[in-house]
């Protein structure tokens, strides 16, 4: 049972001591409200809060005004009715699983999703949830995996790390047959390019640690959907305590101010980098949804607007040693995990993001030991292209010597 929530969104109402308007006018930046608890001015205020007549605050695990401000911003970005923000992207995914799956229910996951889902799937299996794994390249055959007890289909498009593209509307049409919900992790695409709810998804998830925050300085997760979903997910967050701290929420709010500018620049840079890589000797299988001859290009062009995001994957040389040499020789592009930040970041998924998986699972969906994942940042594009060229030259020089 979900606890009572105020009927009107709280921003439409004034708390007697509304921290967003303490001076009678509004500060340009949402104040960081670092309070764990809130003093009741009298018992009538407590009653009004409890009955949902005013949107006062009680305890940080329940709600926080700095967090609430970013929830509204992300809801607007995803054209959602509301949004729940939490501590990390994986916390967001786990909250969704815990809220909507039941013992005896069936969850379909694509191999091509962030590696930590594998660990979470083991926990879900211990709780009695049946889990099936499907290759995103085979999404058209998804029907075969859907069962009467399928409760949720969880996907990323473009996927991490190979950028496979899944048609969200087509998946929703298949899911509808058994009343399963479709959840889309939109971290790779970002809401600047793709709005999964408009494509038919029931919920959209973000690792806000990535492009929404954008500066490698905060961790957060977000789940956007209907008001009903907000209430259900709020219940889970309040119960398990995955509420984001106010300072991170404030950093996230700051990141969101430049998010569209960064997203536009990253996509433009990424397109130039991908076109360049295709022409480079020593680089193969460049996987970027914006390339016309990429498998998922047509579906991506239908689903994504204003470009194709900043993420891509490609193979370097013939083996992992070649990939390691290339990554080590880069000077502008930084060797680090994570993605979506102002700096371009590169990593070898086999050695980093896929460590969560047992070795035999790592190759099942096409990732190779020499596959690298590149998150293109906002640097001048010429610097990125020069960096790639000089790194390739030094790899070739070393392999000749």
Binding site residues, ligand PLP, CB under 6 A? 88-90, 114, 156, 160, 185, 187-188, 207, 209, 219, 221
Decide if 102 is catalytic: no
Long-range (24+ apart) CB contacts under 8 A made by 322-326 are 322/282, 322/370, 322/395, 322/399, 323/348, 323/369, 323/370, 323/371, 323/372, 324/348, 325/394, 325/395, 325/398, 325/399, 326/282, 326/372, 326/391, 326/392, 326/395
Number of other residues whose CB lies within 10 A of the CB of residue 148:
9
**Active-site annotation holder among 57, 97, 114, 288:** 114
Residue nearest to ligand PLP (CB): 89
Decide if 185 is catalytic: yes
Cα–Cα distance measured from residue 398 to residue 401, given in angstroms and rounded to the nearest whole number = 5
Q: Is 200 left (phi over 0), alpha (psi -120 to 50) or beta?
A: left
Q: Indicate the residue among 204 and 378 with the shorter CB distance to ligand PLP.
A: 204
Report in angstroms how near the CB of residue 148 gets to ligand PLP at its nearest: 29
Report in angstroms how near the CB of residue 358 gets to ligand PLP at its nearest: 19
Here the tokens at position 179 are 């009343």
Decide if 400 is catalytic: no
Report in angstroms how near the CB of residue 340 gets to ligand PLP at its nearest: 8
Q: Indicate the residue among 187 and 250 with the shorter CB distance to ligand PLP.
A: 187
Measured in degrees and rounded to the nearest 5, phi and psi for residue 207 equal: -85, 100
Q: Indicate the residue among 161 and 290 with the shorter CB distance to ligand PLP.
A: 161
Q: Indicate the residue among 65 and 309 with the shorter CB distance to ligand PLP.
A: 309
Q: Indicate the residue among 194 and 209 with the shorter CB distance to ligand PLP.
A: 209
The residue written with tokens 């990535």 in the block is: 210
Report in angstroms how near the CB of residue 90 gets to ligand PLP at its nearest: 4
Decide if 61 is catalytic: yes
Report in angstroms how near the CB of residue 25 gets to ligand PLP at its nearest: 35
Number of other residues whose CB lies within 10 A of the CB of residue 391:
22
Q: Indicate the residue among 88 and 371 with the shorter CB distance to ligand PLP.
A: 88
Long-range (24+ apart) CB contacts under 8 A made by 101-104 are 101/129, 101/151, 101/152, 102/129, 102/151, 103/127, 103/128, 103/129, 104/128, 104/129, 104/130, 104/149
**Active-site annotation holder among 61, 147, 227, 275:** 61
The sheet carrying 106-110 orders its strands as 82-86, 221-225, 203-207, 181-185, 150-156, 106-110, 130-134
**Active-site annotation holder among 185, 202, 229, 245:** 185
Report in angstroms how near the CB of residue 42 gets to ligand PLP at its nearest: 41
Residues recognised as catalytic: 61, 114, 185, 210
């Amino acid at each position: 049972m979900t606890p009572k929530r105020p009927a009107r969104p709280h921003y439409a109402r004034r708390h007697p001591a509304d921290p967003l308007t303490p001076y009678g006018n509004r500060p340009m930046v949402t104040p960081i409200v670092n309070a764990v608890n809130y003093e009741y001015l009298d018992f009538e205020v407590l009653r009004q809060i409890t009955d949902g007549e005013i949107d006062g605050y009680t305890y940080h695990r329940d709600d926080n005004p700095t967090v609430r401000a970013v929830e509204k911003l992300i809801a607007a970005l995803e054209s959602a009715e509301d949004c729940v923000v939490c501590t990390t992207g994986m916390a967001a995914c786990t909250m969704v699983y815990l809220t909507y799956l039941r013992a005896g229910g069936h969850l379909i996951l694509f191999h091509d999703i962030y590696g930590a889902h594998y660990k979470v799937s083991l926990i879900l299996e211990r709780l009695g949830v049946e889990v099936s794994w499907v290759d995103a390249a085979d999404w058209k055959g998804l029907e075969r995996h859907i069962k009467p007890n399928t409760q949720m289909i969880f996907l990323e498009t473009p996927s991490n790390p190979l950028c496979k593209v899944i048609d969200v509307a087509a998946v929703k049409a298949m899911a509808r047959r058994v009343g399963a919900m479709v959840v889309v992790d939109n971290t790779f695409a970002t809401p600047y390019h793709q709005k999964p709810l408009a494509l038919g998804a029931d919920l959209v998830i973000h690792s806000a640690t990535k492009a929404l925050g954008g500066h490698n300085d905060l961790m957060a997760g977000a789940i956007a959907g209907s008001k009903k979903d907000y209430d259900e997910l709020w219940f889970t967050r309040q119960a398990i305590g995955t509420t984001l701290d106010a300072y991170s929420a404030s950093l996230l709010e700051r990141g969101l101010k430049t998010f569209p500018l960064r997203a536009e620049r990253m996509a433009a840079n990424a397109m130039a980098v991908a076109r360049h890589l295709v022409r480079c000797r020593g680089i193969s299988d460049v996987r970027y949804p914006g390339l016309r001859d990429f498998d998922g290009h047509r579906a991506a062009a239908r689903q994504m607007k204003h470009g194709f995001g900043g993420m891509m994957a490609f193979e370097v040389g013939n083996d992992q040693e070649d990939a390691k040499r290339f990554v080590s020789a880069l000077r502008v592009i930084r060797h680090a995990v994570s993605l979506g930040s102002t700096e371009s970041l590169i990593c070898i998924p086999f050695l980093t993001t896929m460590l969560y998986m047992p070795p035999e699972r790592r190759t099942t969906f096409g990732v190779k030991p020499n596959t690298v994942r590149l998150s293109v940042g906002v640097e001048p594009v010429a610097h990125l292209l020069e960096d790639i060229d000089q790194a390739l030259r030094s790899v070739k020089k070393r392999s000749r010597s």
